């Protein structure tokens, strides 16, 4: 199957679905325009600079027919999800907000709104609220999400509030049959608020599902956000996500992205440091084992003085796994005194594994500091020999060094429960599980 037939299937699904969606004529027009744009642009292909490492044939092989929501057993979800005691839990199931699966004590200062309900209730307000897609050729999947806008959630954190417990946002697919799901997400963090947000992507079944998320994040002045993002979909799943985020003055945002699941994961994260002294830290760890393909693109735009970026990405590929890490940092003329550092380190554990790292710095102002470094290599033979000379067999030594490679990103995670869980998940992927568990 090629991209053209995929577009045809997407258009056919749209034609079947669109008349049944909420939002009245203005939303019908908006979805129609988005579909036109998408069909006009087509799906990205190998000639698109920012998409050239993606396996387009693999992507085109997914069923783009939007599936209906399947009821899931809350107990099955409880077993599958991250055990996060005390957290407030919000759930998007098969692309739509699912109140019945939400749980945990509500958090003071945190409110949410079901986008499906909002479309029916206040379609005009929803038009203003859901601003994506931006007019960027790279946002085709956001345009696709716009064309299928149906469900999702808006989350607001009141200015000055500091919820004492984390907010756990789950993106769940029932995955009982091949299907596509599109979801919208808007997160608004008020000025001075403090939030710990744990996002988790899960599939409950084994079917190959294409999930598409278009998300917007606004972090207010002096607000502080820790954002843990954990992809643990089934080994058949495809996930594309497009984030557009902005930070106001003195806002602080720290993201910890971990990709351990899925068959094809494409993450686009675009962040504008709009206010003076806004600061972000983006840390990431992905494991492309088996046949998994992970394609991570970040773009941070420094648009104000004294803004700061720190990036630390680690990728591991083994088996026939493939990864790509593209980190773009732009220093706009207003970004005087800005500071950015970017580290990309990749580890290849098998001869067929592949990772492409591409740091991109674009500097339009003199008075800034930028540092970046990208390395892709194999395990250090001297370290391997040292461990083996202490009696550890080669497989154990390799696992231990691979685990060690992940440690910096794991150590930076704020919630010990999540950190330990992720460490165990990483250890489970590596051979010699028992030993690794202990080290974890």
Per CB under 8 A, residues contacting other proteins are 381-394, 396-397, 400-401, 403-408, 435, 438-439
Q: Residue 76 CB, nearest distance to other proteins (Å)?
A: 35
Q: Which two tokens stand for residue 180?
A: 């596509």
The residues facing 46 across adjacent strands are: none
Residue bearing tokens 């557009």: 244
Q: Which two tokens stand for residue 385?
A: 């020999």
Q: How far apart are CA 167 and CA 25, in angstroms?
A: 35
Q: Residue 396 CB, nearest distance to other proteins (Å)?
A: 7
Q: Strand 238-247: give its sheet, edge to edge.
A: 110-114, 152-157, 179-189, 209-219, 238-247, 264-273, 293-302, 322-331, 354-363
Q: Residue 382 CB, nearest distance to other proteins (Å)?
A: 5
Shorter beta-carbon distance to other proteins: residue 63 or 432: 432
Sign of CA dihedral 326, 284, 43, 208: positive
Shorter beta-carbon distance to other proteins: residue 365 or 387: 387
Shorter beta-carbon distance to other proteins: residue 47 or 390: 390
Neighbours of 240 (CB within 10 A): 23
Widest CA span in the chain = 72
Shorter beta-carbon distance to other proteins: residue 330 or 435: 435
Q: Residue 229 CB, nearest distance to other proteins (Å)?
A: 22
Q: Are β-strands 308-317 and 339-348 bridged in parallel, bridged antiparallel, or unpaired?
A: parallel
Q: Which two tokens stand for residue 142?
A: 């956001």
Shorter beta-carbon distance to other proteins: residue 34 or 347: 347
Shorter beta-carbon distance to other proteins: residue 75 or 382: 382
Q: Residue 253 CB, nearest distance to other proteins (Å)?
A: 26
Q: Residue 408: which H helix or E strand, with range?
A: helix 394-411
Are the beta carbons of 225 and 253 closer than 8 angstroms? yes
Residue 357 CA, chain-centre distance (Å), reads 18
In the 8-state DSSP scheme, what is residue 23?
Answer: S
Are the beta carbons of 210 and 64 closer than 8 angstroms? yes
Q: Residue 376 CB, nearest distance to other proteins (Å)?
A: 18
Shorter beta-carbon distance to other proteins: residue 67 or 315: 315
Q: Residue 231 CB, nearest distance to other proteins (Å)?
A: 22
Report cis status (omega within 30 of 0) of the bond before 176.
Answer: no
Q: Residue 281 CB, nearest distance to other proteins (Å)?
A: 19
Shorter beta-carbon distance to other proteins: residue 19 or 381: 381
The residues facing 329 across adjacent strands are: 300, 361
């Amino acid at each position: 199957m090629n991209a053209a037939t995929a577009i045809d299937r997407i258009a056919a699904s749209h034609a079947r679905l669109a008349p049944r969606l909420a939002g009245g004529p203005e939303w019908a027009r908006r979805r129609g325009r988005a579909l036109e744009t998408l069909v006009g642009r087509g799906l990205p292909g190998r000639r698109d600079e920012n998409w050239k490492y993606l396996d387009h044939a693999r992507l085109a092989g997914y069923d783009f027919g939007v599936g209906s929501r399947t009821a899931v057993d809350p107990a099955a979800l409880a077993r599958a999800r991250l055990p996060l005691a005390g957290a407030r839990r919000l759930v998007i199931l098969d692309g739509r907000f699912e109140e019945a699966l939400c749980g945990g004590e509500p958090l003071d200062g945190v409110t949410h709104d079901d986008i499906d309900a909002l479309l029916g209730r206040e379609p005009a307000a929803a038009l203003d609220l859901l601003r994506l897609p931006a007019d960027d050729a790279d946002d085709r999947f956001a345009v696709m999400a716009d064309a299928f806008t149906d469900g999702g959630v808006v989350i607001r954190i009141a200015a000055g509030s500091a919820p004492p417990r984390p907010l756990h946002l789950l993106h769940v697919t029932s995955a009982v049959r091949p299907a596509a799901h599109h979801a919208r997400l808007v997160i608004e963090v008020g000025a001075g608020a403090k939030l710990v947000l744990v996002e988790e992507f899960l599939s409950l079944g084994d079917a190959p599902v294409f999930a598409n998320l278009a998300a917007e994040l606004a972090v207010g002045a002096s607000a502080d956000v820790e954002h843990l993002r954990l992809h643990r979909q089934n080994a058949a799943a495809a996930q594309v996500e497009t984030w557009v985020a902005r930070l106001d003055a003195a806002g602080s945002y720290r993201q910890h992205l971990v990709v351990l699941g899925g068959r094809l994961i494409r993450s686009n994260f675009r962040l504008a440091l709009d206010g003076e002294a806004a600061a972000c830290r983006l840390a990431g760890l992905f494991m492309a084992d088996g046949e998994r393909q992970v394609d991570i693109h970040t773009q941070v735009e420094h648009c104000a003085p004294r803004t700061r970026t720190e990036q630390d990405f680690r990728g591991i590929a083994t088996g026939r796994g493939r990864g790509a890490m593209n980190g773009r940092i732009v220093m706009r003329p207003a970004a005087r005194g800005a500071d950015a550092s970017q580290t990309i380190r990749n580890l290849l554990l098998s001869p067929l594994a592949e990772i492409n790292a591409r740091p991109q710095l674009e500097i339009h102002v003199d008075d800034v500091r930028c540092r970046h470094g990208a390395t892709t290599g194999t395990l250090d033979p001297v370290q391997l020999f040292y461990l083996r000379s202490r009696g550890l067999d080669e497989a154990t030594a390799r696992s231990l060094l691979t685990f060690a490679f992940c440690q910096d990103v794991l150590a930076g995670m704020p919630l010990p429960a999540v950190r330990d869980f992720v460490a165990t998940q990483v250890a489970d992927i590596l051979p010699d599980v028992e030993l690794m568990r202990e080290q974890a």
